Amino acid sequence: MSDPDAFDRVDLTDLSRNFGRRRAVSRVSLALRRGDILGLLGPNGAGKSTLLSMLATLVTPTSGTIAYGRWNTKEHGVEIRRRLGVLGHELHLYPELSARENLQFFADLYDLRDAGVVERALDQAGLTERADDQVSSFSRGMRQRLALERSLMHQPTLVLLDEPFTGLDDRAVGIVTQRFRGLAAAGAILVVATHDLDVADGLITRMAVMQAGKLLLATDSGTNVRQQYRALVGAA
């Protein structure tokens, strides 16, 4: 990525999060580096979304720390958040606005002065011909692609993706996976929470498997994903 002041790694140390008496994440330690595409895998309720929310600074850890290079959220929250790209289950698009208006609104929030940034995002999303249509008329897959490009417009250093392949057909999945590889090659750090083990296999460069809030495995291998997952978690 082009930001010389951004962090080049993210370190999670003994990270835990409780909700009342329930421990959603339990003492997770991970080191993320530029160029990583980390597959965050596990069954429903494993703690993946909570871990992503803590990385996104949306949920405060109960204990443990997250270091974004030399920065921490207490002292450098604004700097960190400006360098995050987040795509969650809720796409947070304005259905009454067009695709172009949704992207322009976000570009204005981030004070993106490049006049071509919105048109490039529309092109990456494959929505140039539908740019002026209301998002309420879009399929789930179209909205997913639009929300993804909105989250990438400001060239984030850390990209957090919760089930990014939802609603995408095979062609769109191929386009999105190539997009992710390009981001990693440019120096971004990607964390992809997904149940789609076939897509993950060959895309991710590292994998982390969670169950019941605990980290069962963290490895640099991004192949034989289903086999490794099944050995840890069971049939998949």
pLDDT at 222 over 90: no
- The model's pTM: 0.93
Q: Residue 181 burial by CB count (10 A; 0-12/13-18/19+): exposed, middle or buried?
A: middle
Nearest of 47, 71, 63, 54 to residue 14 by alpha carbon: 63
Q: How far apart are CA 154 and CA 172, in angstroms?
A: 22
Q: Sign of the CA dihedral 112, 117, 118, 121?
A: negative
Q: Which domains does the chain have, with CATH numbers?
A: 33-57+83-233 (3.40.50.300)
The answer to whether 163 touches 141, Cβ cutoff 8 Å, is no
Q: Using one digit for the tens of pLDDT, what is the confidence trace for 149-162?
A: 999 999 999 999 99
Residue identified by tokens 């490049």 is: 114
Give the integer Cα–Cα distance in Å for 116 and 182.
Answer: 19
The predicted-structure confidence for 3-31, as pLDDT tens digits, reads as follows 666 899 999 999 999 999 999 999 999 99
| Site of tokens 């062609």 | 171
